[in-house]
Amino acid sequence: MKVLKANCFMLLQSDEGDNIYAADATDAARSLDAAFSPAISASIPWAAVLGNHDQESALSREGVMKHIVTLKHTLSQLNPAGIDLIDGYGNYNLEVHGVEGSGFENNSVLNLYFLDSGDYSKVPSISGYDWIKPSQQLWFQRTSLELQRAYMSKPEAQKAPAPGLVYFHIPLPEFTSVVDSSNYTGVKQDPISSASVNSGFFTTLVEAGDVKAVFNGHDHLNDFCGEYTGIQLCYAGGFGYHAYGKAGWARRARVVVATLEKTEEASWGPLKSIKTWKRLDDRSLSTIDVQVLWSNNTPGGT
Residue 64 CA to residue 268 CA, distance in Å, equals 39
Mean pLDDT is lowest, of 50-54, 57-61, 248-252, 264-268, for 264-268
Q: Is the pTM of this model over 0.75?
A: yes
Can you list the domains of the chain with their CATH numbers? Answer: 8-301 (3.30.750.180)
What is the pLDDT at residue 265? 67
Residue 151 CA to residue 108 CA, distance in Å, equals 7
Rg over alpha carbons for the chain, rounded to the nearest Å, is 19
- Whether pLDDT at 299 is above 70: no
| Mean pLDDT to the nearest integer, 190-218 | 97
| Mean pLDDT to the nearest integer, 48-61 | 88
User: What backbone phi and psi angles, to 5 degrees, belong to 276?
Assistant: -145, 155
What is the pLDDT at residue 184? 97
In the three-class reduction of DSSP (H, G, I as helix; E, B as strand; rest coil), residue 47 is classed as coil
In the three-class reduction of DSSP (H, G, I as helix; E, B as strand; rest coil), residue 295 is classed as strand
Whole-Å CA distances, 118 to 10, 49, 131, 195, 280: 26, 10, 6, 10, 28
Whole-Å CA distances, 181 to 141, 184, 215: 28, 8, 19
What is the pLDDT at residue 18? 72
Among candidates 149, 208, 198, 139, which has minimal Cα distance to 170? 198
What is the pLDDT at residue 1? 45
| Mean pLDDT to the nearest integer, 27-45 | 91
What is the pLDDT at residue 27? 84
% of the chain residues with pLDDT over 90:
68
| Mean pLDDT to the nearest integer, 20-35 | 78
In the three-class reduction of DSSP (H, G, I as helix; E, B as strand; rest coil), residue 217 is classed as coil
CA 7, distance to chain mean position in Å, is 20
- Whether pLDDT at 128 is above 60: yes
Q: Pick the residue with more confidence: 1 or 79?
A: 79
CB-CB contact of 151 with 163 (8 Å): no
